[in-house]
Amino acid sequence: MEILDVMIDKALYVLDRVKKRLLRNRQTKPSANDVEAQFLKEWTSVLAEYAEVFSGLYTGLAKVAEGGTKKQEKVLREWLMRTHYKFHRKRLEEISRSCLQPVIEGGTNDEYAKWAGLLLNAARKAEIEKDRTGYVVLDESRVNAYVEWNGGELYLGDKVEVMIPAWYQKGNILEQGSCKAAEND
């Protein structure tokens, strides 16, 4: 009977340790919401200071978030590559790789849109803004932010139709847009 009691005590001890380990692992593993919140926080901070590193990708990122591009893998892969080169071995690279790499390697359109949307949300919080589409008159802030669709010259006061909006941060041009001269009325 003593042997049986000793075996039961050992079994209970082992079960108790396994239970404690499982509870500890469950507590330390962040939830999806925690990961997304940390991703958003890290990127907002970085884009506030280093937005120009990702110049040329904001329009593509917006298209990915809208679900309207076949180049979604290329856009996120380029974003991740620039992250690697600028922030190698830093927390931002780690969290970006853990979140974006699985999407690049086989994510759904919804997953691409979700992570691109989170990056755009971080951009908005870092005061990165996309200009509007439609007809505008080129003022001092817009005249250098656009190139004419057919290669023509643009001048202050020209009325144009914005085809691809420019991106700005605190009044500085991050990404030029494209426009075409409006038809004379």
What are the residue ranges spanned by the domains of the chain?
32-126, 129-181
Share of the chain above pLDDT 70, in %: 91
Task: Report, as an integer, the average pLDDT of 129-139.
Answer: 95
- 18 vs 59, higher pLDDT: 59
Q: Is the pLDDT at 51 greater than 60, yes or no?
A: yes
Which pLDDT score, from 0 to 100, does residue 79 have?
Answer: 96
Q: Is the pLDDT at 116 greater than 60, yes or no?
A: yes
Task: Report, as an integer, the average pLDDT of 128-141.
Answer: 94
Nearest one of 75, 80, 39, 84 to 57, comparing CA atoms: 75
Q: What pTM did the predictor assign?
A: 0.79
Q: Is the pLDDT at 22 greater than 80, yes or no?
A: no
Q: How far is CA 120 from CA 66, 79, 116, 172, in A?
A: 11, 12, 6, 17
Which pLDDT score, from 0 to 100, does residue 1 have?
Answer: 66
pLDDT category at 175 given cuts 50, 70, 90 is very high
Nearest-10 crossing angle of helices 72-86, 58-66 = 140
